[in-house]
Amino acid sequence: MSKDVGKKIKELRSVKKLTLKDLSERTNLSTGFLSQLERGLTTIAVDSLENISKALEVDLSYFFVLPQNNNSDVIRSYEQTVSQIKADKFIYFHLSNDLENKRMLPRMVTILPSSEDENIEEFQHEGEEFIYVLEGILTLYVNHQRYDLYHGDSMHLDSNLVHNWCNHTNKITKILVVSAPNPFRKDK
């Protein structure tokens, strides 16, 4: 993945006619680090990549690729790729290939820490969701009620109820979410 990210950074930088020094000044990252990153010789933290995306005027999700539609039903752990980043706090990984032909949408979500003071807006949509906490503590709001779920806890809910989740701790939280219907399905 590092090589793909580095290649995209180099391509964008070239298109915008920026030197490594220009990008370094805009991001506060050293030219040496940026050079190694572009060549796929090092990895980058999400917050530093976010600085680069702002400097290059693209959304952070630009650097991540959706899983390829291949013939295998198996996705190895090393093949999982980021499918979406929302509000710089939620990182989504699709856990299935060929989503256009599946009824359920399985995803792993990494939720970065947020403040208790942050306003959590509940929303609703068609379908149902199954949520299982893989790591950390998940704060889940369902129908204006708060639930704290711990490693190994789960909840199966009707998505028509207003709901949302967040992480009010200082460590990351990882959850498995299986939802239906699958919005990527061709014949929804």
pLDDT (tens digit, 0 to 9) for every residue of the chain, 188 residues total?
Answer: 557 788 889 888 888 889 999 999 999 999 999 999 998 888 888 888 888 988 988 877 777 654 454 567 787 776 777 777 776 688 888 888 878 888 999 999 999 888 777 778 888 889 999 999 999 999 999 999 999 999 999 999 999 999 999 999 999 999 999 999 988 787 75
Asked if 76 and 48 count as a contact pair (C-beta separation under 8 A), the reply is no
pLDDT tens by residue, 58-109? 877 777 654 454 567 787 776 777 777 776 688 888 888 878 888 999 999 9
CATH number of 2-63: 1.10.260.40
Q: What residues are paired with 58 via a beta bridge?
A: none
Is it true that 2-63 and 77-180 share their CATH fold?
no
Residue ranges of domains in the chain: 2-63, 77-180
Q: What residues are paired with 155 via a beta bridge?
A: 131
CB neighbour burial string for 95-113, b if at least 16 within 10 angstroms, e if fewer: bbbebeeeeebbbbbbbbe
Q: What is the CATH architecture assignment of 77-180?
A: Sandwich (2.60)
Going 51 to 52 to 53 to 55, the CA torsion angle's sign is: positive
Give me the helix-helix angle, 20-27 and 31-38, nearest 10°.
110
